[in-house]
């Protein structure tokens, strides 16, 4: 604690030295003389503090812009009710120098602004799919410019993806999307638009419009003039629920009539833990096709079968195995093999003369497919163990999970 205080005081002192008198050679030299590394440390610390301050200022600016954006949003939507589309004035973050008409993603000569953050709000209750009126509207008479986000009474809404009855949406022939809305990863896409009239869902083939899906479960549309009057773009009241979907949700509909918020599926790789360790608690003599390691100490992932002595890889990946034995007595040689999918892959060999005994441990690492079978066989010789010794053992671990074809 004392050291901390000392450092803080030092920083303050150095601070004043720098800010008050940049050419204060004398004082700086004093510091230099006394403790060069400390001085270096402090000046880098100060630089860091400065950059942090700068970052903080930028963040604050951004926050203010966001706040402004939200308030502007509210006021505009309040005013637009029933009137023509009003401009959603861009906050000062985007200096507003560029001409919207030229602001096309294909034109690289101008900066391109993400329409998800730069759109006009179209909040006109008469566009609702359940709205009928004698005072019909025509979108051909509007000057469309740039991108639009649809609202219904201040609530985010989408265009219908289903044919809408004629004389709805405050017009004669309601305009609807014949193709589904894009996903966020699709970016900006073109979508065909049809106008329903006299029992023909596509009596009017309107020019395609551009659509983009945005984070926050909303869409922006680049509307264009439809071919005739009275045609108007629709706002589907059934999609109002989508605006209420949470961060980890998406708006779901099978029939394009009822919409609901559904949770996004988490694409998490299930991390498998696979470890086993078993021993054989007795003597092995001569040929034993498969050692049934009956004393199982660890079987994480339950991939080792104590009845058969076989380990079966539950997932594909890199595995490490080891097996051991203790051999002795007057036998020529003792051989144990590790068998993987029928192949004998590595041997533990020992040969001792006389009454001595020797322990042997072998290891093997390999990539296995899911379902591979591994066991240990005792081919010849003699291995010794009792219930407490754990000298004849077999174990293994999954090191890394891998996707294999
Ligand atoms: C929004 O409108 C309210 C009420 O008219 C007004 O007090 C407020 O200053 C406006 N906000 C902005 C950002 O224009
Ligand atoms: C791109 O913008 C420039 C400058 O406004 C304009 O002259 C040009 O025609 C545009 N090109 C396309 C493909 O829109
Ligand atoms: C249209 O639907 C909205 C949302 O469900 C509802 O609030 C409104 O009253 C309906 N309007 C008519 C004319 O049915």
Q: How far apart are CA 187 and CA 181, in angstroms?
A: 11
The closest residue, in CA terms, to atom 1 on ligand 3 is 130
Pocket test for ligand 2, best of 98, 107, 108, 222 (most atoms within 8 A of CB): 107
- Please tell me if the CB atom of residue 386 comes closer than 6 angstroms to any atom of ligand 3: no
CA nearest neighbour of 46 among 10, 11, 8, 5: 11
Q: Residues 28, 34: contact at Cβ < 8 Å?
A: no
- Please tell me if the CB atom of residue 157 comes closer than 6 angstroms to any atom of ligand 3: no
Which residue's structure tokens are 């264009």? 224
Report in angstroms the alpha-carbon separations of 84 from 58, 123, 127, 333, 335.
36, 9, 12, 96, 90
- Please tell me if the CB atom of residue 128 comes closer than 6 angstroms to any atom of ligand 3: yes
The closest residue, in CA terms, to atom 14 on ligand 3 is 130
- Please tell me if the CB atom of residue 386 comes closer than 6 angstroms to any atom of ligand 1: no
Q: Residues 313, 371: contact at Cβ < 8 Å?
A: yes
Q: Which residues line ligand 2 (CB under 6 A)?
A: 102, 104, 106-107, 109-110
Tens-digit pLDDT profile for the chain (405 aa)? Answer: 444 454 444 444 444 434 444 443 433 433 444 455 676 777 777 887 877 887 777 777 777 666 555 444 443 443 333 333 334 433 333 333 344 444 455 555 555 678 898 899 999 999 999 999 999 999 999 999 999 999 999 999 999 999 999 999 999 999 999 999 999 989 999 999 999 999 999 999 999 999 999 988 999 999 999 999 999 999 999 999 998 898 888 999 999 999 999 998 776 666 789 999 999 999 999 899 999 999 999 999 999 999 999 999 999 999 999 999 998 777 788 999 999 999 999 999 988 887 788 899 999 999 999 999 999 999 998 898 988 889 999 999 999 998 876
Which ligand has an atom closest to residue 79 CA? 1
Which atom of ligand 2 lies closest to the CA of 110? Answer: 2
The closest residue, in CA terms, to atom 6 on ligand 1 is 75
Pocket test for ligand 2, best of 97, 100, 102, 106 (most atoms within 8 A of CB): 102
Could you tell me the distance, in angstroms and rounded to a whole number, from the CA of residue 132 to the centre of ligand 3?
11
Which ligand has an atom closest to residue 105 CA? 2
Which atom of ligand 2 lies closest to the CA of 106? Answer: 13
Q: Residues 230, 172: contact at Cβ < 8 Å?
A: yes
Give the distance from CA 252 to its chain's centroid.
20
Which atom of ligand 3 lies closest to the CA of 132? Answer: 13
Pocket test for ligand 3, best of 128, 170, 235, 242 (most atoms within 8 A of CB): 128
pLDDT tens for each residue of 27-75: 343 344 445 567 677 777 788 787 788 777 777 777 766 655 544 444 3
pLDDT tens for each residue of 238-296: 999 998 898 888 999 999 999 999 998 776 666 789 999 999 999 999 899 999 999 99
- Please tell me if the CB atom of residue 75 comes closer than 6 angstroms to any atom of ligand 1: yes
**In whole numbers, what is the pLDDT of the chain averaged over residues?**
81
Give the distance from CA 260 to its chain's centroid.
22
The closest residue, in CA terms, to atom 5 on ligand 2 is 102
The closest residue, in CA terms, to atom 5 on ligand 3 is 237
Containing 4, the helix (H) or strand (E) segment is helix 2-20
My answer on whether omega of the bond before 230 falls inside 30° of 0, hence cis, is: yes
Backbone dihedral region of 3: left (phi > 0), alpha (psi from -120 to 50 degrees) or beta?
Answer: alpha
Could you tell me the distance, in angstroms and rounded to a whole number, from the CA of residue 64 to the centre of ligand 1?
15
Which ligand has an atom closest to residue 72 CA? 1
Q: Residues 187, 125: contact at Cβ < 8 Å?
A: no
The closest residue, in CA terms, to atom 4 on ligand 3 is 237
């Amino acid at each position: 604690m004392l050291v901390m205080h000392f450092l803080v005081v030092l920083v303050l002192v150095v601070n004043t030295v720098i800010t008050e008198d940049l050419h204060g050679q004398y004082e700086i030299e004093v510091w230099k003389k006394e403790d060069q590394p400390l001085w270096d440390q402090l000046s880098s610390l100060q630089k860091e503090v400065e950059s942090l301050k700068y970052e903080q200022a930028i963040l604050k600016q951004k926050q203010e812009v966001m706040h402004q954006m939200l308030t502007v949003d509210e006021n505009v939507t309040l005013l637009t009710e029933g009137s023509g589309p009003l401009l959603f004035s861009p906050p000062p973050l985007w200096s507003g120098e560029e001409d919207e008409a030229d602001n096309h993603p294909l034109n690289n000569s101008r900066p391109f602004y993400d329409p998800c953050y730069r759109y006009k709000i179209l909040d006109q209750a008469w566009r609702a799919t359940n709205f009928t009126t004698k005072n019909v509207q025509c979108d051909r008479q509007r000057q469309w410019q740039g991108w639009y986000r649809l609202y219904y009474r201040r609530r985010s809404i989408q265009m219908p993806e289903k044919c809408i009855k004629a004389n709805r949406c405050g017009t004669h022939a309601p305009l609807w999307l014949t193709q589904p809305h894009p996903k966020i990863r699709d970016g900006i896409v073109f979508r065909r638009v049809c106008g329903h009239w006299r029992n023909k869902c596509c009596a009017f083939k309107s020019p395609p419009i551009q659509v983009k899906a945005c984070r926050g479960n909303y869409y922006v549309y680049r509307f264009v003039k439809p071919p005739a009057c009275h045609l108007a773009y629709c706002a589907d009241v059934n999609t109002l629920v989508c605006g209420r979907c949470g961060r980890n949700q998406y708006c779901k509909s099978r029939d394009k009539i009822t919409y609901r918020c559904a949770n996004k599926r988490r694409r998490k790789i299930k991390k498998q833990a696979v470890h086993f360790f078993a021993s054989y608690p007795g003597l092995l003599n001569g040929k034993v096709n498969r050692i049934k390691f009956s004393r199982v100490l660890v079987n994480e992932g339950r991939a080792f079968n104590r009845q058969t002595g076989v380990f079966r890889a539950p997932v594909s990946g890199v595995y490490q195995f080891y097996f051991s034995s203790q051999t002795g007595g007057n036998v020529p040689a003792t051989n144990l093999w590790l068998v993987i999918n029928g192949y004998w892959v590595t041997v533990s060999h020992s040969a001792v003369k006389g009454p001595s005994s020797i322990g042997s441990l072998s290891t093997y690492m390999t990539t296995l497919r899911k379902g591979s079978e591994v066991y240990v066989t005792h081919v010849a010789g003699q291995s010794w163990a009792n219930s407490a010794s754990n000298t004849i053992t077999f174990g293994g671990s999954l090191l890394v999970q891998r996707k294999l074809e």
